[in-house]
Amino acid sequence: MCESDDVTPSCYELDKVLNRGCAAYAPYNEVWPQVYIGDEATAKDKFNLKKLGITHVLNAAEGTWNNVDTGASYYGDMGVVYHGVVAADTPSFDLSQYFITASHFIGTALADPNNKLLVHCVMGRSRSATLFLAYLMISEGMTLADAADHVKTRRRILPNWGFLKQLRELDTKLQNQRQGAKCIGSESR
């Protein structure tokens, strides 16, 4: 019989974790090797992006209404590879529909050690943080608790409760998959 010791924390527990011992707010922070999470001003500051060596941008707030209206053409003169996600920062918005495509974009960017990625939204605290946490869970094999703990010590993040719920669902699904793989591996011995 296979059992898992990992338990996905509740939204309330995650909120407490994210607010305890977190980094001070800044326009952008390096949260992982080659990865920055930042705000709208950072995304629009081409001079600073060049200085940071940004080669890829994931805009988690693409669009014009209450979002960041950049796009691939905005970065065209810089040779930046762009990926946009049209998402609202509301608890009812299903951001999980973008977890796989955003993770793939991040993973592709990080495959080359010369690349640097900016993941951003308006404030760089909810949508962008949620997509990067999903990447850490999907591609780096981290639990939600571990991913949140890692990022919050490097950047002040506050995914809304709807996004936390979606991340919890992803965490449970991934833990069940990993546990199933462990059980199958141990039964075949």
Would you please indicate which residues are annotated as catalytic (active-site) residues?
Answer: 121
Burial (CB count <10 Å: 0-12, 13-18, 19+), residue 81: middle
Structure tokens at 6: 């990992």
- Retrieve residue 24's tokens: 């001070």
- Is the distance from CB of 171 to CB of 137 less than 8 angstroms? yes
d(C-alpha 108, C-alpha 101), whole Å: 11
124 with 28: CB under 8 angstroms? yes
- C-alpha distances in Å from residue 99, one per residue of 25, 68, 88, 105, 113: 25, 19, 15, 10, 23
